Structure 1
Amino acid sequence: MSRRFVIEAVMVAIYGELLVPSAPVEYIVPYTTVMELYEFQNSPEPLMNDASDDLHVKNKISELISYLEEPLNRKKLERALSVPWSKSPAILFGDNISWIVINAVDNEQFGELLDPIETEIVLTAQRENAPVLTDQLELIRRIIEAEAPVQVFDIGDFDFAMEDSIFSNLN
Protein backbone atom coordinates (compact mmCIF):
# COMPACT_ATOMS: atom_id res chain seq x y z
CA MET A 1 0.00 0.00 0.00
CA SER A 2 1.38 3.39 -0.91
CA ARG A 3 1.57 6.37 1.39
CA ARG A 4 -0.45 9.39 0.32
CA PHE A 5 0.44 13.04 0.81
CA VAL A 6 -1.05 16.30 -0.38
CA ILE A 7 1.78 18.44 -1.71
CA GLU A 8 2.48 21.46 -3.89
CA ALA A 9 3.99 20.58 -7.26
CA VAL A 10 7.04 22.81 -6.75
CA MET A 11 8.07 20.86 -3.64
CA VAL A 12 8.87 17.85 -5.81
CA ALA A 13 11.19 20.01 -7.93
CA ILE A 14 12.89 21.54 -4.90
CA TYR A 15 13.30 18.36 -2.86
CA GLY A 16 14.76 15.59 -5.01
CA GLU A 17 14.52 13.09 -2.15
CA LEU A 18 10.75 13.09 -2.67
CA LEU A 19 11.42 11.27 -5.96
CA VAL A 20 13.33 8.44 -4.27
CA PRO A 21 11.05 7.32 -1.44
CA SER A 22 11.67 4.21 0.65
CA ALA A 23 8.22 2.85 -0.26
CA PRO A 24 5.50 3.59 -2.84
CA VAL A 25 4.07 7.11 -2.57
CA GLU A 26 1.05 8.82 -4.07
CA TYR A 27 1.31 12.59 -4.19
CA ILE A 28 -2.02 14.38 -4.43
CA VAL A 29 -1.35 17.70 -6.12
CA PRO A 30 -3.89 20.53 -6.40
CA TYR A 31 -4.00 21.72 -10.01
CA THR A 32 -3.38 25.36 -9.10
CA THR A 33 0.03 24.34 -7.74
CA VAL A 34 0.83 22.72 -11.10
CA MET A 35 0.00 26.05 -12.75
CA GLU A 36 2.34 27.77 -10.30
CA LEU A 37 5.22 25.84 -11.87
CA TYR A 38 4.92 28.05 -14.95
CA GLU A 39 5.03 31.18 -12.80
CA PHE A 40 8.10 29.94 -10.91
CA GLN A 41 9.82 28.91 -14.13
CA ASN A 42 9.46 32.38 -15.67
CA SER A 43 9.82 34.46 -12.54
CA PRO A 44 12.88 36.69 -12.15
CA GLU A 45 12.45 36.22 -8.38
CA PRO A 46 14.77 33.55 -6.99
CA LEU A 47 13.26 30.48 -5.35
CA MET A 48 16.49 29.64 -3.56
CA ASN A 49 19.01 31.86 -1.79
CA ASP A 50 22.02 30.43 -3.61
CA ALA A 51 22.21 31.28 -7.34
CA SER A 52 23.40 27.80 -8.38
CA ASP A 53 20.66 26.15 -6.29
CA ASP A 54 18.11 28.48 -7.85
CA LEU A 55 19.26 27.57 -11.36
CA HIS A 56 19.13 23.87 -10.48
CA VAL A 57 15.58 24.14 -9.09
CA LYS A 58 14.38 26.14 -12.10
CA ASN A 59 15.87 23.46 -14.39
CA LYS A 60 14.03 20.79 -12.37
CA ILE A 61 10.81 22.81 -12.68
CA SER A 62 11.32 22.94 -16.46
CA GLU A 63 11.88 19.17 -16.54
CA LEU A 64 8.73 18.60 -14.49
CA ILE A 65 6.70 20.87 -16.77
CA SER A 66 8.04 19.05 -19.84
CA TYR A 67 7.09 15.70 -18.33
CA LEU A 68 3.58 16.90 -17.46
CA GLU A 69 3.17 18.29 -21.00
CA GLU A 70 3.90 14.94 -22.65
CA PRO A 71 0.73 13.96 -24.55
CA LEU A 72 -0.41 11.13 -22.25
CA ASN A 73 0.22 13.13 -19.08
CA ARG A 74 -1.41 16.26 -20.53
CA LYS A 75 -4.48 14.21 -21.39
CA LYS A 76 -4.62 12.91 -17.82
CA LEU A 77 -4.36 16.45 -16.45
CA GLU A 78 -7.11 17.69 -18.76
CA ARG A 79 -9.44 14.97 -17.46
CA ALA A 80 -9.15 16.44 -13.97
CA LEU A 81 -10.24 19.88 -15.14
CA SER A 82 -13.73 18.97 -16.28
CA VAL A 83 -15.44 19.17 -12.89
CA PRO A 84 -14.48 20.73 -9.55
CA TRP A 85 -12.83 18.18 -7.26
CA SER A 86 -12.32 15.66 -10.03
CA LYS A 87 -9.03 13.76 -10.09
CA SER A 88 -6.66 12.83 -12.86
CA PRO A 89 -5.69 9.25 -13.52
CA ALA A 90 -2.32 8.48 -11.96
CA ILE A 91 0.71 10.07 -13.57
CA LEU A 92 3.63 7.76 -12.94
CA PHE A 93 7.12 8.87 -11.95
CA GLY A 94 9.06 5.62 -11.94
CA ASP A 95 8.04 2.51 -10.05
CA ASN A 96 7.33 4.03 -6.62
CA ILE A 97 5.71 7.39 -7.32
CA SER A 98 2.38 8.42 -8.71
CA TRP A 99 0.76 11.82 -8.91
CA ILE A 100 -2.93 12.40 -8.76
CA VAL A 101 -3.81 15.95 -9.78
CA ILE A 102 -7.03 17.22 -8.27
CA ASN A 103 -9.10 20.16 -9.46
CA ALA A 104 -9.41 21.66 -5.98
CA VAL A 105 -11.61 24.67 -5.32
CA ASP A 106 -11.03 27.33 -2.66
CA ASN A 107 -14.20 28.04 -0.69
CA GLU A 108 -12.67 30.59 1.71
CA GLN A 109 -13.46 28.25 4.60
CA PHE A 110 -10.43 29.43 6.55
CA GLY A 111 -10.90 33.12 5.84
CA GLU A 112 -7.75 35.18 5.97
CA LEU A 113 -5.76 32.57 7.91
CA LEU A 114 -4.91 30.69 4.70
CA ASP A 115 -4.43 32.02 1.19
CA PRO A 116 -6.45 30.41 -1.64
CA ILE A 117 -3.81 27.83 -2.59
CA GLU A 118 -3.19 26.94 1.06
CA THR A 119 -6.94 26.52 1.50
CA GLU A 120 -7.05 24.19 -1.51
CA ILE A 121 -4.21 22.16 -0.02
CA VAL A 122 -6.01 21.80 3.32
CA LEU A 123 -9.39 21.05 1.74
CA THR A 124 -7.75 18.45 -0.51
CA ALA A 125 -6.11 16.86 2.53
CA GLN A 126 -9.49 16.74 4.27
CA ARG A 127 -11.31 15.25 1.28
CA GLU A 128 -8.60 12.69 0.58
CA ASN A 129 -7.87 11.87 4.23
CA ALA A 130 -4.18 12.39 3.55
CA PRO A 131 -1.59 14.47 5.41
CA VAL A 132 -0.08 17.64 4.01
CA LEU A 133 3.65 17.59 3.24
CA THR A 134 5.29 21.04 3.15
CA ASP A 135 8.48 22.93 3.89
CA GLN A 136 6.65 26.06 4.98
CA LEU A 137 6.77 26.39 8.75
CA GLU A 138 4.41 29.36 8.60
CA LEU A 139 1.85 27.26 6.75
CA ILE A 140 2.14 24.55 9.39
CA ARG A 141 1.59 27.19 12.08
CA ARG A 142 -1.45 28.64 10.26
CA ILE A 143 -2.97 25.17 9.75
CA ILE A 144 -2.69 24.61 13.49
CA GLU A 145 -4.11 28.07 14.29
CA ALA A 146 -7.02 27.47 11.89
CA GLU A 147 -7.65 24.19 13.71
CA ALA A 148 -7.87 22.51 10.32
CA PRO A 149 -8.66 18.82 10.78
CA VAL A 150 -5.62 17.57 8.84
CA GLN A 151 -2.26 16.14 9.71
CA VAL A 152 0.76 18.01 8.42
CA PHE A 153 4.41 16.98 8.09
CA ASP A 154 7.47 19.08 7.45
CA ILE A 155 9.39 17.80 4.43
CA GLY A 156 12.39 17.40 6.74
CA ASP A 157 10.36 14.67 8.46
CA PHE A 158 9.54 12.85 5.20
CA ASP A 159 11.30 9.64 6.18
CA PHE A 160 9.48 9.67 9.53
CA ALA A 161 6.15 10.27 7.77
CA MET A 162 6.85 7.27 5.54
CA GLU A 163 7.15 4.86 8.48
CA ASP A 164 4.48 2.18 8.68
CA SER A 165 3.53 2.99 12.27
CA ILE A 166 2.84 6.63 11.44
CA PHE A 167 0.94 5.74 8.29
CA SER A 168 -1.28 3.20 10.01
CA ASN A 169 -2.24 5.75 12.68
CA LEU A 170 -3.55 8.16 10.03
CA ASN A 171 -6.35 5.91 8.87
Structure 2
Amino acid sequence: MSRRFVIEAVMVAIYGELLMPQAPVEYIVPYTTVMELYEFRNSPEPLMNDSADDQHVKQKIEELIAYLEEPLNRKKLERCLTVPWSKSPSILFGEEVSWTVVNALDNEMYGELLDPIETELVLTAQREHAPVLTDQLELIRRIIEVEAPVQIFDIGDFEYAMDDPIFSNQG
Protein backbone atom coordinates (compact mmCIF):
# COMPACT_ATOMS: atom_id res chain seq x y z
CA MET A 1 0.00 0.00 0.00
CA SER A 2 1.44 3.38 -0.93
CA ARG A 3 1.72 6.39 1.34
CA ARG A 4 -0.17 9.47 0.19
CA PHE A 5 0.81 13.13 0.57
CA VAL A 6 -0.63 16.38 -0.70
CA ILE A 7 2.18 18.45 -2.18
CA GLU A 8 2.91 21.35 -4.51
CA ALA A 9 4.35 20.31 -7.88
CA VAL A 10 7.45 22.51 -7.51
CA MET A 11 8.47 20.67 -4.32
CA VAL A 12 9.14 17.56 -6.42
CA ALA A 13 11.44 19.58 -8.69
CA ILE A 14 13.27 21.14 -5.73
CA TYR A 15 13.58 17.92 -3.74
CA GLY A 16 14.60 15.21 -6.19
CA GLU A 17 14.74 12.64 -3.40
CA LEU A 18 10.93 12.71 -3.34
CA LEU A 19 11.06 10.77 -6.63
CA MET A 20 13.26 8.08 -5.05
CA PRO A 21 11.39 6.91 -1.94
CA GLN A 22 12.09 3.63 -0.19
CA ALA A 23 8.42 2.58 -0.53
CA PRO A 24 5.53 3.35 -2.88
CA VAL A 25 4.16 6.88 -2.57
CA GLU A 26 1.32 8.79 -4.19
CA TYR A 27 1.58 12.57 -4.40
CA ILE A 28 -1.73 14.34 -4.64
CA VAL A 29 -1.07 17.59 -6.49
CA PRO A 30 -3.55 20.47 -6.90
CA TYR A 31 -3.68 21.45 -10.57
CA THR A 32 -2.93 25.12 -9.85
CA THR A 33 0.47 24.06 -8.52
CA VAL A 34 1.15 22.30 -11.82
CA MET A 35 0.36 25.59 -13.58
CA GLU A 36 2.77 27.34 -11.21
CA LEU A 37 5.60 25.33 -12.78
CA TYR A 38 5.20 27.40 -15.95
CA GLU A 39 5.34 30.62 -13.93
CA PHE A 40 8.51 29.48 -12.14
CA ARG A 41 10.10 28.42 -15.43
CA ASN A 42 9.47 31.83 -17.01
CA SER A 43 10.20 33.97 -13.96
CA PRO A 44 13.42 35.98 -13.79
CA GLU A 45 13.21 35.67 -9.98
CA PRO A 46 15.48 32.96 -8.53
CA LEU A 47 13.87 30.06 -6.67
CA MET A 48 17.05 29.23 -4.80
CA ASN A 49 19.67 31.45 -3.14
CA ASP A 50 22.62 29.73 -4.80
CA SER A 51 22.80 30.33 -8.58
CA ALA A 52 23.97 26.76 -9.32
CA ASP A 53 21.09 25.34 -7.26
CA ASP A 54 18.68 27.72 -9.00
CA GLN A 55 19.84 26.55 -12.45
CA HIS A 56 19.50 22.93 -11.35
CA VAL A 57 15.97 23.43 -10.00
CA LYS A 58 14.89 25.33 -13.13
CA GLN A 59 16.24 22.45 -15.25
CA LYS A 60 14.25 19.99 -13.13
CA ILE A 61 11.14 22.15 -13.55
CA GLU A 62 11.71 22.08 -17.31
CA GLU A 63 12.03 18.27 -17.23
CA LEU A 64 8.89 17.95 -15.10
CA ILE A 65 6.91 20.17 -17.49
CA ALA A 66 8.17 18.17 -20.48
CA TYR A 67 7.12 14.92 -18.80
CA LEU A 68 3.66 16.25 -17.94
CA GLU A 69 3.24 17.49 -21.51
CA GLU A 70 3.87 14.06 -23.02
CA PRO A 71 0.64 13.10 -24.83
CA LEU A 72 -0.56 10.40 -22.41
CA ASN A 73 0.20 12.48 -19.32
CA ARG A 74 -1.33 15.63 -20.83
CA LYS A 75 -4.49 13.65 -21.60
CA LYS A 76 -4.63 12.44 -17.99
CA LEU A 77 -4.28 16.02 -16.74
CA GLU A 78 -6.99 17.29 -19.07
CA ARG A 79 -9.42 14.64 -17.79
CA CYS A 80 -9.43 16.14 -14.32
CA LEU A 81 -10.19 19.66 -15.54
CA THR A 82 -13.79 19.04 -16.54
CA VAL A 83 -15.33 18.96 -13.05
CA PRO A 84 -14.26 20.67 -9.82
CA TRP A 85 -12.52 18.30 -7.42
CA SER A 86 -12.13 15.57 -10.02
CA LYS A 87 -8.88 13.62 -10.05
CA SER A 88 -6.62 12.57 -12.88
CA PRO A 89 -5.72 8.96 -13.48
CA SER A 90 -2.33 8.17 -11.93
CA ILE A 91 0.72 9.62 -13.64
CA LEU A 92 3.64 7.30 -12.99
CA PHE A 93 7.16 8.45 -12.12
CA GLY A 94 9.07 5.20 -12.05
CA GLU A 95 8.08 2.15 -10.05
CA GLU A 96 7.50 3.74 -6.65
CA VAL A 97 5.97 7.16 -7.36
CA SER A 98 2.63 8.21 -8.78
CA TRP A 99 0.90 11.56 -9.03
CA THR A 100 -2.79 12.21 -8.87
CA VAL A 101 -3.65 15.72 -9.97
CA VAL A 102 -6.76 17.25 -8.40
CA ASN A 103 -8.79 20.08 -9.89
CA ALA A 104 -8.96 21.76 -6.48
CA LEU A 105 -10.83 25.00 -5.88
CA ASP A 106 -10.14 27.72 -3.35
CA ASN A 107 -13.39 28.46 -1.54
CA GLU A 108 -11.89 31.26 0.60
CA MET A 109 -12.63 29.16 3.67
CA TYR A 110 -9.55 30.51 5.44
CA GLY A 111 -9.92 34.08 4.19
CA GLU A 112 -6.70 36.02 4.04
CA LEU A 113 -4.89 33.74 6.48
CA LEU A 114 -3.98 31.31 3.68
CA ASP A 115 -3.41 32.25 0.05
CA PRO A 116 -5.47 30.45 -2.62
CA ILE A 117 -2.90 27.73 -3.31
CA GLU A 118 -2.35 27.11 0.40
CA THR A 119 -6.12 26.85 0.84
CA GLU A 120 -6.27 24.33 -2.02
CA LEU A 121 -3.53 22.27 -0.37
CA VAL A 122 -5.43 22.21 2.92
CA LEU A 123 -8.80 21.45 1.34
CA THR A 124 -7.27 18.70 -0.80
CA ALA A 125 -5.63 17.19 2.28
CA GLN A 126 -8.99 17.24 4.08
CA ARG A 127 -10.85 15.65 1.16
CA GLU A 128 -8.19 13.00 0.56
CA HIS A 129 -7.42 12.31 4.25
CA ALA A 130 -3.73 12.71 3.45
CA PRO A 131 -1.08 14.85 5.15
CA VAL A 132 0.46 17.93 3.53
CA LEU A 133 4.18 17.74 2.74
CA THR A 134 5.98 21.10 2.49
CA ASP A 135 9.24 22.91 3.16
CA GLN A 136 7.54 26.19 4.06
CA LEU A 137 7.74 26.76 7.80
CA GLU A 138 5.46 29.80 7.54
CA LEU A 139 2.79 27.66 5.85
CA ILE A 140 3.08 25.09 8.63
CA ARG A 141 2.69 27.88 11.20
CA ARG A 142 -0.36 29.34 9.43
CA ILE A 143 -2.04 25.94 9.08
CA ILE A 144 -1.61 25.45 12.83
CA GLU A 145 -2.92 28.99 13.49
CA VAL A 146 -6.10 28.45 11.47
CA GLU A 147 -6.53 25.09 13.19
CA ALA A 148 -7.01 23.33 9.87
CA PRO A 149 -7.87 19.68 10.55
CA VAL A 150 -4.94 18.24 8.57
CA GLN A 151 -1.67 16.54 9.35
CA ILE A 152 1.38 18.36 7.99
CA PHE A 153 5.00 17.26 7.62
CA ASP A 154 8.11 19.22 6.85
CA ILE A 155 9.93 17.74 3.84
CA GLY A 156 12.93 17.26 6.12
CA ASP A 157 10.78 14.69 7.96
CA PHE A 158 9.81 12.83 4.77
CA GLU A 159 11.47 9.56 5.78
CA TYR A 160 9.77 9.70 9.19
CA ALA A 161 6.42 10.35 7.51
CA MET A 162 7.01 7.38 5.21
CA ASP A 163 7.77 5.14 8.22
CA ASP A 164 4.98 6.44 10.46
CA PRO A 165 2.57 3.52 11.09
CA ILE A 166 -0.37 5.96 11.31
CA PHE A 167 -0.08 6.50 7.55
CA SER A 168 0.60 2.91 6.49
CA ASN A 169 -3.04 2.11 5.70
CA GLN A 170 -4.07 5.26 3.88
CA GLY A 171 -6.24 5.21 0.85
Q: For this structure pair, what is the TM-score category when the shorter chain's length is used for normalisation?
A: over 0.9
**Structure 2 unpaired stretches of 5+:** none
State the one-letter code of the partner of 2:141. Answer: R
- TM-score by length of structure 2 reads 0.98
CA distance in 1 between partners of 2:170 and 2:6 (Å) = 13
**Is the CA contact 1:160–1:166 (under 8 Å) kept in the aligned structure 2?**
no
Q: Distance in 2 between matches of 1:60 and 1:144?
A: 31
* 1:29 partner SS: strand
| 3-state SS of 1:5 partner | strand
The CA RMSD measured in Å over matched residues stands at 1.2
Partner in structure 2 of residue 155 of structure 1 = 155
Q: Please name the residue that 2:105 is paired with.
A: 105
Counterpart of 2:94, as a letter, is G
Per the TM alignment, residue 167 of structure 1 is displaced from its structure 2 partner at its CA by 1.4
Asked whether the 8 Å contact 1:29–1:101 carries over to 2, the reply is yes
Which runs of at least 4 in structure 1 moved beyond 6 Å after TM superposition? none
Count, aligned residues: 171
Tell me, yes or no, if structure 1 residue 53 matches structure 2 residue 53: yes
CA apart distance, 1:133? 0.1
Corresponding position of 1:28:
28
Counterpart code for 1:131: P
SS at match of 2:89: coil
Cα drift, residue 168 of structure 1: 4.1
- Deviation, 1:164, is 4.3
Query: Are residue 141 (structure 1) and residue 141 (structure 2) matched?
Result: yes
Q: Equivalent residue of 1:40, what SS?
A: helix
Matched residue SS, 1:156: helix
1:10 is aligned to 10
CA distance in structure 1 between the aligned counterparts of 2:63 and 2:169, rounded to whole angstroms: 35
Following the alignment from structure 2 to structure 1, what is the Cα–Cα distance between the partners of residues 44 and 116? 23
> Can you list the C-alpha shifts for 1:117-148, whole angstroms capped at 9, x where unaligned?
00000000000000000000000000000000
Secondary structure class of the residue paired with 2:133 = strand
CA distance in 1, matches of 2:31, 2:19: 19
Residue 73 (structure 1) aligns with: 73
1:94 aligns with 2:73: no
Q: Is the 8 A contact 1:13 1:64 kept in 2?
A: yes
Over the matched positions of the two proteins, sequence identity in percent amounts to: 82
| Contact kept? 2:4, 2:170, Cα under 8 Å | no
8 Å CA contact 2:110, 2:146 repeated in 1: yes
* Secondary structure of 1:162's aligned partner: helix
In 2: Cα distance, 1:59 partner to 1:105 partner: 29
Q: Within the alignment, does 1:123 sit opposite 2:96 as a pair?
A: no
Query: With CA pairs under 8 Å and 6+ residues apart, which has the higher RCO, 1 or 2?
Result: 2
Write out per-residue CA displacement over residues 17-73 of structure 1, whole angstroms, 9 at most, x where no aligned residue.
101001000000000000000000010000000000000000000000000000000
